[in-house]
Amino acid sequence: MPGEKSGAAQKLFKAVVDGDEELSREATRELLGEGWDPRSIITEVLVPAMRKVGELYERGEYFIPELVMSAEAFRAAMDLLRPHFKGSGAPVKAVAVFGTVRGDIHELGKNLAVAVFEAEGFQVVDLGVDVPPERFADAVVEHNARIVGMSALMTTTMLEQRSVIEELKRRGLRDKVIVIAGGAPVTEEWVKEIGADVWGRDAFEAVRIVKKMLGVE
């Protein structure tokens, strides 16, 4: 909770929790106009807001539609803040590449994961949807990524998650990255079968596991 620091900070916190994109943009502009450091906006407002969303979800008070709306409000704020980071030397925990696997054009789950990992201080490269295994591997090399997140919404397309891991192995990259397999049909058993590292019931659990594996807060 942003506390009593600023009315605009409280407005942004509420906008993200409520999933209000327009209010999120408005409050972010106000905070920048007040001279807030963009990194402070993230650490003192956006991260607590997304953690609040996670708590509401875990308590059964929020469901997927609310999570997606909050993620979009978070992304609206980040779109305004990101240009201020260029050359700022802002600390990054690690680079993560996320994408929806080949043959699958669903992006809601992937977008939520992107928002949660960004909120927790990771630099996220969003590869989009319908991403072939080769593109995941190329992105790992290009961005020196430590994390690969693969999303799939259908039982037919989740088979592509295995293909991504095989491509990482073929390129000698598998042991250099933490691989997350996510999506509605994905189970813990499937993650073990294909040799991925992380399965979480949701993006919030996944990021906690990844941070623990990396030994970062």
Q: pTM to 2 decimals?
A: 0.73
* Mean pLDDT of successive 10-residue stretches along the chain, which has 217 residues: 70 95 96 88 84 85 87 89 65 88 86 83 93 98 97 90 97 97 90 92 86 88
pLDDT digits (tens, 9 = 90+) for 36-56: 988 788 878 988 888 888 889
CA distance 164 to 93: 23
Closest to 112 (Cα-Cα) out of 204, 191, 198, 187:
204
Half-sphere exposure of 81 (CA within 13 A, CB side): 29
> How far, in whole angstroms, is CA 64 from its chain's centroid?
15
pLDDT digits (tens, 9 = 90+) for 69-98: 998 898 899 889 878 765 555 557 899 999
